[in-house]
Amino acid sequence: MWQEDVMQAEGPAYRYRVGADENGLGPRLGPMIVTAVLARVNEDGWSIAGRAPQGALAKRLGDSKQFVAHGDVALGEAWARVLVQRGAGRTTDATSPDALIHAISADDQSTLRSPCPNHVTSQCWSNEGEAFEAEAPLLRSIHNDLDRLAARGVEIVAVRSVILCTRRLNDGLLAGKNRFVLDLHAMERLFLDLRDVAGAEVSAVCGKVGGFGKYSGAFGPLAGRLHAVLEESRARSAYRFPDLGEIAFVRDGDASDLCVALASMVGKYVREVLMARVVRHYQREVEGLASASGYHDPVTASFVAATRLVREGRGIPDDCFERRSAEPPLGARRRVRATGS
């Protein structure tokens, strides 16, 4: 019932919803991004936040794979910029792509760069040549979308991304944690972080991680915490944690939940910006080098081959450039699209 776990504000009663999703689970190059948004909703907004965007909003918000692509990131950028401008980031600085990434990141700059050897830092963190793509009319449309959502009882109050660079993914694999496990643990972390931001219990919906039906045994940040199993199936697995709230893992969440879709849009933008930095870094070294998406495609394969001598000459560790390959554990296999999230 709505009356359960309701907070009282100066106005109508409200609750908190979280939507989380990953971007870049399966590529060959570039980071994996796990993003979550926190929404404060009243009774009317509860159902709106928990379903796919409707009407005119559906033209600008939905499954990020349909709206944001390699070389076409304006819409994802617009959502990220406007959310940060409205106070949903760790800072309100959206004056450049670099400032925007750090406003959204759950980690500060020194933490993000801590795995980087000094001579490798520029490969991933140089912002030379970056510029915004979204134009003023699009930004105004997104502001209007968020105003209309707020008027209907859905206010987006926070957005955070965990950035798992190639080195962190490879280090995790060497420690026995493949990308599915790292994805899950990042979602758990964001669930805890946004619960702290809310100051109250939250109800989180996350995109399904792999083909898991049961998550308790794979939990990381949530491991050891008392919880009740609400449901476990291939389509939906849900758990209740006292004082924290509920976390559910839902198949195709980005196509059926507004908050998950918004997280996916922002995360897709963050991944594309960071992958583009790697591309520009080597384009300055290799004449005529084509832009690569980082996914398993012929252009990316050519990019890897064409940059090999430069990387060897500059002593770039393979683990900072290309993901190690490994089969996911039994029960955690997931179909990865070539253009996927």
Read off the pLDDT of residues 314-325 as tens digits, 9 standing for 90 and up. 999 999 999 998
Residue 260 lies in a domain: yes
State how far Cα 22 lies from the chain centre: 5
| pLDDT classification of 70: cutoffs 50, 70, 90 | confident
Could you please report the per-residue DSSP string of 9-68? -SSS-EEEEEEEEEE-SS-SBS-EEEEEEEEEEEHHHHHHHTS---GGGGGTSS-HHHH-
**Does a structural domain hold residue 309?**
no
- Give the separation between CA 281 and CA 94, rounded to whole angstroms: 23
CATH number at residue 122: 3.30.420.10
Residue 321 corresponds to which amino acid?
F
Assign 326 a pLDDT band (cuts: 50, 70, 90). low
Q: Is residue 3 part of a domain?
A: no
pLDDT of residue 149: 97
pLDDT at residue 338 greater than cutoff 70: no
State the pLDDT confidence band at 8, using cuts at 50, 70 and 90. Answer: very low
- Which residue from 233, 273, 250, 331 is spatially nearest to 17, judged by alpha carbons? 250
> How much is the pLDDT for 234?
86
pLDDT score of 64: 73
Q: What are phi and psi of 33, to 5 degrees?
A: -115, 130
Which residue range forms the structural domain that includes residue 220? 14-277
Residues 169 and 179: beta-carbon distance below 8 Å: yes
Looking at residues 161-169, what average pLDDT do you find? 98
Lowest mean pLDDT of 56-60, 80-84, 208-212, name the range.
Answer: 208-212
pLDDT average, residue stretch 255-282: 95
Position 324 in a domain: no
Q: What is the mean pLDDT of residues 255-283?
A: 96
Q: What is the pLDDT of residues 189-236, one digit of tens each?
A: 999 999 999 999 999 999 988 767 899 999 999 999 999 999 999 889
Sign of the Cα pseudo-torsion (81, 82, 87, 88, in order)? negative
pLDDT for 313 beyond 70? yes
What does the pLDDT average to over 228-256?
A: 93
Q: What pLDDT score was predicted for residue 103?
A: 98
Interval 159-184 mean pLDDT: 97
Structure confidence at residue 65 as a pLDDT band (50, 70, 90): confident
In a domain, 221, yes or no: yes
Question: Which percentage of the chain shows pLDDT scores above 70?
Answer: 91
Length in residues, the chain: 341
Whether residue 269 lies inside any domain: the answer is yes
Task: List b or e across 79-101, with b for residues whose CB sees 16 or more CB atoms inside 10 angstroms.
Answer: bbbbbbbbebbbeeebeebbbbb
Which of these ranges, 8-22, 68-82, 105-119, has the smallest mean pLDDT?
8-22
Question: What was the pLDDT predicted at 341?
Answer: 41
User: Would residue 243 count as lying in a domain?
Assistant: yes
Torsion angle defined by CA atoms of residues 132, 137, 138 and 139, in that order, rounded to the nearest 10 degrees: 70
In a domain, 216, yes or no: yes
Q: What is the pLDDT of residue 72?
A: 81
Q: How far apart are CA 292 and CA 70, in angstroms?
A: 8
Output the six-digit token pair for 6: 């309701």
**What is the per-residue pLDDT for 12?**
52
> Total structural domains in the chain?
1
CA distance 273 to 127: 9
